[in-house]
Amino acid sequence: MAKKKYYEHKITLGKTITGETIRKSFYSAKSKSDAKRKAEKYRATHELELLCGGNEPVRHTLFSAWALECLELYKKPYVKPNTYSGTYLSPVQNHLIPHFGNMALDAILPIHVQQYINEAAKQYSPETVKKDYAAMSFIMQTAVDNGLCRTSPVTKTIRLPKYKTVTEKTAFTQQEYDTAFAFATQHPLGLDIMFLMETGISRSELLGLRWEDLDLEQGTVTISQGLVSYYDDEAGQWTISADGLKNKYRKRTIPLVNQLLLERLREKPHTIVPPRKKKAVETEYVFHGPYGQPYQPNNWANRVYRPFMKDLLAAHPELPELSPHELRHTRATLWVAQGMEPLMVIRLLGHCDMKMLTKIYDHTSVDTLRAALEAAKKSQQTAS
């Protein structure tokens, strides 16, 4: 039996009071880089403990030394992995550390934060700058709480970039919708698109659907989780997570009223024979990869959505090319145009209040408003 190979990485942690060098080795069975990652993680914790335990840590603690340790301690155990990766770790690693990393915590002033915000606003969206600001504020406040700096430079005087008016998203008209939906019914990749168009769910919700979420006898689908991908810093790779929804309002049951969609779902097999395999496998997810595995969102876009949209536009070049989110936008605007009560639209979309609907989805045309007024007038005349 071959002996398992272990990779070693050594680091220097300082010197003893007698001048001897303190070195420590770290090992990994996976790779040299994994051993190095373990070593650097230990070094950061070790340096932080020295800083926090000293009498004068204030002038010596670097932003880079505290920022990642802060997230590891205060955020990682308490938020979803994809939230941790996208909302906290990514802004800190990609934006804040490159800018503030070599500065001592107590040397960072409000003017430095404002300068960063002003420069970031030229490169990134207001939402991205807002994430950076929130992460910076949290990191500096926890540094104050731990005595690593005297005051936080993220003060009330800091100004964030103003949000521009939300660009109106493209959406199908009712006629364009009917054309696209009819095309989907005949396309080998069309079932995914039909489902998105009819229900208004998001891409992550579609890919997170399991067979147990469908009740084809009653004609309903229960949205109970969303499937997302995120970068796992410890594993050093992208991974898939299906552990719930953004908020409690996203959990909802949607009636499936299109009979053709229901028929296609009933016909869809629960077992498949993967490529180059002989044995059939039971699938857990309704919309899955070729081997029955859950789809990584970008892979689904490349293998299903974009090929479908390419074929649709080749057959109907007069149609606009929409993203999956714009199909959700289309469904919402058509529901509104058809006179559905806004509260019902909100419930079907999984929003928590009217704000999201009015800001993003309800770009109501004059014709839609005219039809609503005429319907109200007709209803009043009938009642009288």
Last residue of some domain: 100, 129, 145?
Answer: 145
Query: Do 297 and 364 fall within a single domain?
Result: yes
Where residue 18 falls among pLDDT bands split at 50, 70, 90?
Answer: low
- Look at 75-84, 161-170, 193-202, 282-291 and tell me which has the smallest mean pLDDT: 161-170
Give the 3-state secondary structure of residue 32: helix
- Look at 69-78, 117-126, 227-236, 302-311 and tell me which has the smallest mean pLDDT: 227-236
Query: Do 224 and 267 fall within a single domain?
Result: yes
Of the chain, the percentage scoring pLDDT greater than 90 comes to 51
Query: Do 129 and 226 fall within a single domain?
Result: no
- State both tokens at 323: 């993203």
Report the alpha-carbon distance of residue 49 to residue 210 in Å, rounded.
Answer: 46
Query: Do 46 and 182 fall within a single domain?
Result: no
pLDDT (tens digit per residue) in 44-55: 666 665 555 544
Query: Do 122 and 198 fall within a single domain?
Result: no
> Which CATH number do you get for residue 90?
1.10.150.130
Report the alpha-carbon distance of residue 332 to residue 360 in Å, rounded.
Answer: 10
Mean pLDDT along residues 144-154: 92
pLDDT (tens digit per residue) in 90-139: 999 999 999 999 999 999 999 999 999 999 999 998 889 999 999 999 99
Between 371 and 129, where is the model more confident?
129
Residue 373 in any domain: the answer is yes
Angle between helices 190-199 and 259-267 (to 10 degrees): 140
How far from 229 is each of 47, 137, 327, 365, CA to CA, in Å?
A: 32, 26, 21, 36
pLDDT of residue 144: 93
**Contact between residue 219 and residue 256 where contact means Cβ atoms under 8 Å apart:** yes
Helix (H) or strand (E) holding 329: helix 324-337
Residue 330 in any domain: the answer is yes
Expressed in percent and rounded to 5, the helix, strand and coil fractions of the chain are 55, 10, 35
pTM above 0.85, yes or no: no
- Look at 229-238, 252-261, 273-282, 368-377 and tell me which has the smallest mean pLDDT: 368-377
Where residue 366 falls among pLDDT bands split at 50, 70, 90?
Answer: low
What are all long-range contacts of 41-48, with beta carbons under 8 Å and residues at least 24 apart?
42/11, 43/11, 43/13, 44/68, 44/69, 45/69, 46/13
Phi and psi for 12 in degrees, rounded to 5? -100, 130
- Give yes or no for residue 368 having a pLDDT over 70: no
Query: Do 358 and 285 fall within a single domain?
Result: yes
Size of the chain, expressed as the number of residues it contains = 384
Residues 6+ apart with CB under 8 A from 210: 284, 285, 286
Residue 95 in any domain: the answer is yes
Residue 151 in any domain: the answer is no
- Give yes or no for residue 56 having a pLDDT over 50: no
Report the alpha-carbon distance of residue 118 to residue 223 in Å, rounded.
Answer: 40
Mean pLDDT score of the chain: 84
Query: Do 99 and 208 fall within a single domain?
Result: no
Mean pLDDT along residues 353-378: 60
Residue 183 in any domain: the answer is yes
Mean pLDDT along residues 30-48: 73
Query: Do 275 and 228 fall within a single domain?
Result: yes
Query: Do 258 and 374 fall within a single domain?
Result: yes
**Contact between residue 304 and residue 189 where contact means Cβ atoms under 8 Å apart:** yes
Residue 323 in any domain: the answer is yes
pLDDT (tens digit per residue) in 183-232: 999 999 999 999 999 999 999 999 999 999 999 999 999 999 988 877 77
pLDDT of residue 73: 92
> Which CATH number do you get for residue 194?
1.10.443.10
* Count of domains observed in the chain: 2
Query: Do 189 and 136 fall within a single domain?
Result: no
Half-sphere exposure of 369 (CA within 13 A, CB side): 5
- Give yes or no for residue 163 having a pLDDT over 70: no
Report the alpha-carbon distance of residue 36 to residue 26 in Å, rounded.
Answer: 7
Query: Do 367 and 248 fall within a single domain?
Result: yes
Domain with 62 in it: 21-145
Residue 242 in any domain: the answer is yes
pLDDT of residue 54: 47
**Contact between residue 232 and residue 89 where contact means Cβ atoms under 8 Å apart:** no
Residue 152 in any domain: the answer is no
Query: Do 252 and 292 fall within a single domain?
Result: yes
Report the alpha-carbon distance of residue 365 to residue 368 in Å, rounded.
Answer: 5
Of the chain, the percentage scoring pLDDT greater than 70 comes to 80
How many H helices and E strands in the chain?
17, 9
Between 134 and 276, where is the model more confident?
134
Neighbours of 92 (CB within 10 A): 26
